[in-house]
Structure 1
Amino acid sequence: MAEKKKPVGKAAPAAKPAPARKPAPAGTPAGRQSKAVAPRPKGGEVATPAPEGYRSLIEPRTGLAELFAPVGGFGVTLSNMFRKTVTEQYPSEKVPAKPRYHGRHQLNRYADGLEKCIGCELCAWACPADAIYVEGGDNTPDQQFSPGERYGRVYQINYLRCIFCGLCIEACPTRALTMTNEYELAGPTRAGMIWEKDDLLAPMREGMLTSPHPMVEGTTDTDYYRGEVTHATDAQRAWVAEHRPDDPTLPGGAGLDVANELAPTAAAMAATVAAATKQGTR
């Protein structure tokens, strides 16, 4: 029986040859094409060459300086190895702190005795440790604690949280909050490490009157901020004598020693520090 012949159709188009691939560098995984990269600089160059006409201001080392350059960084270490060691005999001998040391905080006063704090709470917002708590209050004619309209009614600093970074004093717009050089802070209880406003207020000085009392007559808060108020006036003394005749800062009163008695929290901490110093003194 004769075999059937397949119908003759159009020939299938020839497949296009695949484009030739560039050979992959050695170490490249199979099936992964490497990206083109810029050629590496020759002759040990690791940076863009200096523009024409450039001259370095650093004088090149020569001779012994070039020889000892690799160990030059150990100069400070080697020079201190042969110095006499100084040991501070604390607490028997207390070395004064540097002038810019960040110690305990202080709420300052103006020259007539009014408080500088205006209760703006910027120090509390700037504190990274959330150690400051402030509540502002309104000044009234009978209760004028600071120049202007507002004053710090409540002011607390938790020294268990404080990291003494100084950001709070940078944020204060009236320079009411500063930091002293006092670094001996200790207490037997957690509550005793939270200082109130009375503990933080700066001590009274000669010519000041304990707040509250009116502002210097004929002045505004701007005059206080500019430092134009230098002392308390007779009108302010008369107002304090009328409302608080037993005020220790009045002429003939008990004096600054009574006015500057420590508040309970500060007094308890001072007693604790004094006892620890006595125990540790040789």
Structure 2
Amino acid sequence: MADPQESTPERGGLGKALGDFFAPVAGFGVTFSNMFRPMVTEQYPFVKHPTAPRYHGRHHLNRYPDGLEKCIGCELCAWACPADAIFVEGASNTADEQHSPGERYGRVYEINYLRCIFCGLCIEACPTRALTMSNEFELAGPTREGLIFTKEELLAPLNEGMLAAPHPMVEGTTDDDYYRGEVTGPTQTQVDWVAEHRPDEPTLEAARRAATSGKGVK
């Protein structure tokens, strides 16, 4: 005996016909529900609304608390970029030109914002968290050349107490100590080195105060 609740072909055909009939009405329902809502006009650029906390904006090349750069010139960000927007040229650190912990640093770093699609894959590829993305999104300019940002434009500003590179690593540390966050500021030895080699360095005085306050290694 057939189940009385089982749909017959005629009943199924009727339901399909009714669904096809009301489908356009449902679509117009979305349209009509928005027709009577008040219009909202964004007053940009005179009134700027904050972006989402994890917004993918302009890139920053970060530094360690003592001022050394986090970029080690590995080029993984350039390899990960699907738009081929990043160019990195690494170089070796020397005793007189120590820009980052370890053996290598990014001598040349460029991002072409005419190509960048702000996907964030370069951020995921970076092994030292040297590259992050800010909330800055106003990148328009009058020339195409101006939208190719160089390392000097991408480097994050020096915070109070940081000592501008180049200078030696914190004495008695390795690059692993930097990666683990054990370096918390410049030391007196670093300050003395910069004072000898670059006595006119603008960040020297603030770094000297930070060094005497006990910052350095955890």
- TM-score, normalized by length of structure 2? 0.79
Residue 189 of structure 1 is matched in structure 2 by 143
- Structure with a larger share of its residues in helix: 2
Q: How far off its partner does 1:82 sit?
A: 4.9
Matching residue within 165, 174, 177 for 2:119? 165
1:106 aligns with 2:60: yes
How has the CA–CA distance of structure 1 residues 252 and 216 changed in structure 2, closer, same or farther, with 3 Å as cutoff? closer
Q: CA deviation at 1:108?
A: 0.3
Which amino acid is the alignment partner of residue 155 of structure 1? Answer: Y
Partner of 1:137: 91
2:203 aligns with: 249
Task: Give the paired residue count.
Answer: 189
Q: How much has 1:187 moved relative to structure 2?
A: 1.8
CA RMSD after TM alignment = 2.5
2:90 partner SS: strand
2:131 aligned residue (177, 195, 213): 177
Deviation at 1:72, TM superposition (A): 8.7
Where does residue 176 of structure 2 map in the other structure? 222
Residue 119 of structure 1 aligns to which amino acid in structure 2? G
Letter in 1 for 2:48: K
In structure 2, what is the Cα distance between the partners aligned to 1:75 and 1:149?
Answer: 64
Q: Which amino acid aligns with 1:129?
A: A
- TM-score normalised to the size of structure 1? 0.62
Secondary structure of the structure 1 residue equivalent to 2:186: coil
- Letter in structure 2 aligned against 1:180: S
Map Cα deviations across residues 29-48 of structure 1 (whole Å, 9 max, x no partner).
xxxxxxxxxxxxx977xxxx
Aligned pair partner of 2:107 in 147, 153, 156: 153
Does the 8 Å CA contact 2:167/2:194 hold for their aligned counterparts?
Answer: yes
Unaligned runs of 5+ in 2: 1-6, 10-24, 208-218
Matched, 1:208 2:162: yes
Are 2:110 and 2:149, in contact at CA under 8 Å, matched by a contact in 1? yes
Task: Judge which range, 162-171 or 79-88, deviates more.
Answer: 79-88
- 2:77 and 2:87 map into 1 onto residues whose CA distance is 9
**2:188 — aligned with what?**
234
List structure 1 segments (4+ residues) > 2 angstroms apart after TM superposition: 71-86
Higher relative contact order (CA 8 A, sep 6+): 2
| 3-state DSSP of counterpart to 1:251 | helix
TM-superposed deviation, 1:96: 1.4
* CA shift for structure 1 position 94: 1.1
2:63 alignment partner, SS class: coil
Retained in 1: the 8 A contact 2:80–2:122?
yes
Q: What SS does structure 1 have at the residue aligned with 2:168? A: coil
C-alpha distance in 2 between matches for 1:79 and 1:112: 58
Q: Which ranges in structure 1 are unaligned for 5 or more consecutive residues?
A: 1-41, 45-70, 254-282
Per the alignment, do residues 204 and 81 of structure 1 end up closer, same or farther by CA in structure 2, a change over 3 Å counting? Answer: same
Compared with structure 1, are the counterparts of its residues 86 and 113 closer, same or farther at alpha carbon in structure 2 (3 Å cutoff)? same
Q: Distance in 2 between matches of 1:106 and 1:73?
A: 45
Percent identity of paired positions between Structure 1 and Structure 2: 76
Report the CA distance between 1:95 and its aligned residue: 1.0
Shift of residue 85 of structure 1?
A: 3.1
Structure 1 residues 116 and 73: CA distance shift in structure 2, 3 A = farther
Change (3 A) 1:78 1:227: farther
Q: How far 1:215 moved relative to its partner?
A: 0.6
1:238-268 CA-to-partner distances (Å, cap 9, x unmatched) read: 1111110000001179xxxxxxxxxxxxxxx
Larger Cα-atom Rg: 1
